[in-house]
Chain A
Amino acid sequence: MTIRYSKDHEYVRLEGDVATVGISHYAQEQLGDVVFVELPAVGKIVEQGGEAAVVESVKAASEVYAPVSGEVVEVNSELEATPATVNEDAEGKGWFLKLKLASQDEFNALMSEADYKAYLESL
């Protein structure tokens, strides 16, 4: 099981060919208290860089971009009732959606955990 990060602060955790997507711990910290999450329909095909979900905090609504392309196979519908989970456990229970990975290359090209950490320090 490996994890990769995008420059837009989404993470992808790969298990087999299923990619779990969410926003990073850093992202939730920057957003502040999350109050609403809008998730895509299961079966939707998303393209890398396209809008996959919407996250709204006390301050602003932001798009969550798909860090990799694929078909949505599952969404974390619990977030609709308890959006605070994103703040509490962004990279665990606060995941947004699962994609059937379309391209391993897209995944490989994203940042490793160490690279992402270095990227955050550069901001």
Chain B
Amino acid sequence: MNREGRGATTPITTGTPAPTTFTGNHALELEEGLLFEIGRTEVTGVDIEDAGDFTSRLGGHERKLSLDLPGLAEPEAMRHYVRLSRQNYGIDSGLFPLGSCTMKHNPRLNEKMARLPGFADVHPLQPASTVQGALGVIKELSRWLLSLTGMQAVAFTPKAGAHGELCGMMAIKAAHIANGQKRDIVLVPESAHGTNPATAALIGYQVKSIPARADGTVDVESVKAALSPQVAALMLTNPNTCGLFERDVVEIADAVHAAGAYFYADGANFNAILGKVKVGELGVDAMHINLHKTFSTPHGGGGPGAGPVVLSAALAPFAPVPAVVTDGESLRLVEEEGEAGADQALGRMSAFHGQMGMFVRALSWMLSHGADGMQQASEDAVLSANYIRACLKDVMSVPYGERPAMHEALFDDAWLEGTGLSTLDIAKALIDEGYHPMTVYFPLVVHGAMLIEPTESESKASLDLFIGALRDLAFAAKAGEKERFLGAPHYAPRRRLDETRAARAPVLRWTRPPLAEAAE
């Protein structure tokens, strides 16, 4: 049972505020209906010629009823999406402090590279001889990932972090099977990302939780006590979700290996150690790398993830296909399990070669930063997080004492005691200040957690404004200005939503309001 201490969500205000204008718009904030509400079935933005007389070859399987799809003229369609986009908040509109998500700026150079026809217009089934440049990107990206991690092999096809975890854990399972080992337990620390135990459970492992020490890090002794010939792997995030570097990681890795198990590292927080630590030297056997976090490819609705996995020498033979290999002067793909070089491959994680567009963007970021630039990016991200922590710790409360954070600043809700306000209220008030809220109530081991990850993208002025907003909120909370919080967000297009009702009685399907003319 977790103890995060979120109170019941009793919405103070629900629904739309009463319109103060005829249209419901508020100047530049424009109301917008659903496509089905604003579209008309008799309208279309495309001229389609009448088919004239024709003989159907569908044998009576033609659709008899109208599709009932909304039609819009082009300017209407354009306005619809532009208006919706204005109600969105993204890294391009402002600081996005969502902890554990590494919402960093996506440089436009990456986009320019990804749009080069040689990358954008290729098809995965083209002969390898016609896509040597694209294969070269995969090869070069892999080389960088191996050099940054000190590992032996890359599985580049996983499509996101959790898919990468699955790939890494499948490699571990394949290795145990190849070694004739029957092991069924995976150890996961309390502070892990929720995807870790989910991944282990998905491929049939039992998950055993490892408690955290009072300082927020994993207890080596607990790991040692939990290790047995039944344990297949330990999954550890470093730095962990409390933003703390696991100092005993080498001792933990040694203990895991001595017990015949493998060490899976969750690479979600790689931005904190990029260019500073080679995880291979920490004893890691597999780690996924979120290109969409650390390497600046768009995410959070802005683009697909990409979660390549780096593998140690022990797991490298089990990497999935395809693999890009050098063949004389050219590159080719090893596509079949059992082929030379893939005789122990665990299979295939995806139909084709992974998120090609993201590979180009990530490599573009790597090459434009260089090894020294990436190191500085990591240092700046850590510095920014600690700056926020240092500037707020006198008004908010910091768990785990005086130890500096890594890439994210973690606060608990002890400072809200007696104010009648919760972490959620602070997050909602931050929306009124024009920020996306930080991660709240995660990690679960911290009461009323607020997890802030500024990344290296923010200038000092931007950080100072954000810190100013949070300090102001903290003072207001302590001064008893409850309405500012309980009614928040006051200025968003929608006021506070009823999350409980949304979860208990979700409306998942739009139904046309009963109209007389809709019956025809």
Contact = CB atoms under 8 A, between A and B. Distances in A.
Given A58-B6, A59-B441, A35 B503 contact: yes
B1 A62 contact: yes
Interface string A63-85: 01100000000000000000110
Contacts of A35: 500, 503-504
Given A32-B9, A35-B500, A84-B504, A61 B1 contact: no
13 contacts: A27-B1, A30-B1, A32-B7, A32-B9, A33-B504, A36-B503, A51-B207, A58-B503, A59-B440, A60-B4, A60-B444, A62-B444, A87-B8
B194 interface: yes
Please classify the interface of chain A as helix (H, G, I), strand (E, B), loop, or mixed, using the class held by over half of its residues: mixed
Contacts of A30: 1-6
A57 interface: yes
B505 to A, nearest CB: 9
Interface string B479-514: 000000000000000000001100110000000000
B359 interface: no
A89 B424 CA distance: 24
A16 B207 CA distance: 32
B205 interface: no
B270 interface: no
Given A9-B1, A23-B1, A59-B441, A31 B504 contact: no
A32 B3 CA distance: 10
Interface string A29-43: 111110110000000
B4 A59 contact: yes
B2 A10 contact: no
Given A9-B3, A33-B500, A60-B4, 20 more contacts: A9-B1, A23-B1, A31-B6, A32-B8, A32-B9, A33-B8, A33-B499, A51-B207, A57-B6, A58-B6, A58-B9, A59-B441, A60-B2, A60-B442, A60-B444, A61-B194, A62-B444, A64-B1, A65-B1, A123-B3
4 closest A-B pairs by beta carbon, nearest first, are: A35-B503, A33-B500, A9-B1, A32-B6
B6 A59 contact: yes
A60 B441 contact: yes
A111 to B, nearest CB: 14
A58 B499 CA distance: 6
Could you say which interface size class chain B belongs to?
Answer: 10 to 19
Interface string A1-21: 000000011100000000000
A120 B441 CA distance: 20
A84 B500 CA distance: 10
Contacts of B3: 9, 30, 123
Contacts of A65: 1
A101 to B, nearest CB: 21
Contacts of A64: 1
Contacts of A31: 1-2, 6
Interface residues of A, number: 26
Interface centre among A8, A31, A87, A123 (most CB of B within 10 A): A31
Interface centre among A23, A59, A64 (most CB of B within 10 A): A59
Contacts of A83: 504
Interface string B47-58: 000000000000
Interface string A100-111: 000000000000
Contacts of B499: 33, 58
Given A36-B503, A83-B504, A62 B2 contact: yes
Contacts of B8: 32-33, 87
A116 B6 CA distance: 21
Interface string B1-28: 1111111110000000000000000000
Interface in B263-277: none
Contacts of A61: 194
Interface centre among A23, A29, A30, A62 (most CB of B within 10 A): A30
Contacts of A84: 504
A117 to B, nearest CB: 16
Nearest to B506: A35
Interface in B439-475: 440-442, 444
Nearest to B3: A30
Interface centre among B8, B440, B442 (most CB of A within 10 A): B8
Contacts of B444: 60, 62
Contacts of B441: 59-60
Contacts of B9: 32-33, 58
A30 B499 CA distance: 16
A77 to B, nearest CB: 16
A48 to B, nearest CB: 13
Nearest to B444: A60
A95 to B, nearest CB: 15
B39 to A, nearest CB: 33
A58 B1 contact: no
Nearest to A8: B1
Contacts of B5: 30
Interface centre among B1, B4, B499 (most CB of A within 10 A): B1
